[in-house]
A and B are shown apart, each in its own frame.
Chain A
Amino acid sequence: MRFPEYAAWLAEQVDSTVLEQGCVQIGPFATETVTPNKPPWQMEWTILFEDGLYLRVVENWYRRGSNLGGGGYRNAFSFHYGPANPSKDSEGIPLHSEAHPAIIRIDQDDRIGPHIHYGGEDHIPQARVRNLRISDVDPFQFIRAVVEHRQSGERFDKILGFMVTK
């Protein structure tokens, strides 16, 4: 993926996202590191809702070797929705806190690969999650699921269509 292509997709998705009134947004940011339009870049968007819940999506895109076609690939991401820690950083983003566990969090990271936090259980690996390929989830699929959940009260596993096995 090239940054201009990503930025165009991001702008289109952001424009089509309808959020409830009264929420506070920090971002969306999409920032390259060294050279305009080249990886690595990071995308982040935090949305604080009036009822004390928040969502935050972060994607980290790394450099792909030129022998693999160059551009960037999504190495890690974190999509979080849950109660906001009242303690916030200088930008107003809630600080990570075990006292405020996520309602749902979908992650892919360098440490344990793709996994989810859901139903009060942490680090549920892909092997236990059916009908959802975690590494393919995009931030707007997650944001739309949060919007739908907040409107309908429907469970996230129903909205996203996954099942957690024992």
Chain B
Amino acid sequence: MPIKKRSVPTIESVTRQMQVFEFRYRISTEEFLRQDFAECPVNEDDAMQWHYLREQLSALQDAGIERLYSAFPTGSGARLKNCENSSELLAA
């Protein structure tokens, strides 16, 4: 049986999936991170998937920064690192 691959995620698609969980349980990202699930029982599958989405989002964001770094001359990294999103990076 061959191993299959799912479609490549994007920052937008991962963010949307996280928002679906947050909407379903009516809690924010911050609450999700703090959540002990005692008062709001998040099912274990969703909790594990939400944490994985967070790891994916972090990896995608890091990869975006790396790609943009390479487009700029050496030495501009420190300034670019403070930008919060890609549009700011491109404008920098």
Contact = CB atoms under 8 A, between A and B. Distances in A.
Interface of A: 7, 10-11, 14-15, 25, 27-35, 39-40, 42, 58, 60, 62-63, 75-76, 78, 96, 98, 107, 109-111
A33 B56 contact: yes
B3 A40 contact: no
B47 interface: yes
B40 interface: no
Interface of B: 1-6, 8-9, 36-37, 43-48, 51-52, 55-56, 59-60, 62-63
B44 A60 contact: no
A85 B27 CA distance: 26
A92 to B, nearest CB: 14
Contacts of B4: 27-30
B1 A111 contact: no
A78 B47 CA distance: 11
Nearest to A40: B55
B63 A34 contact: yes
Contact of B52 (A7, A10, A14, A40): A40
A96 B59 contact: no
Contact of B45 (A15, A40, A96): A96
Given A30-B5, A33-B60, A111-B37, A78 B45 contact: yes
Contact of A29 (B6, B43, B46, B56): B6
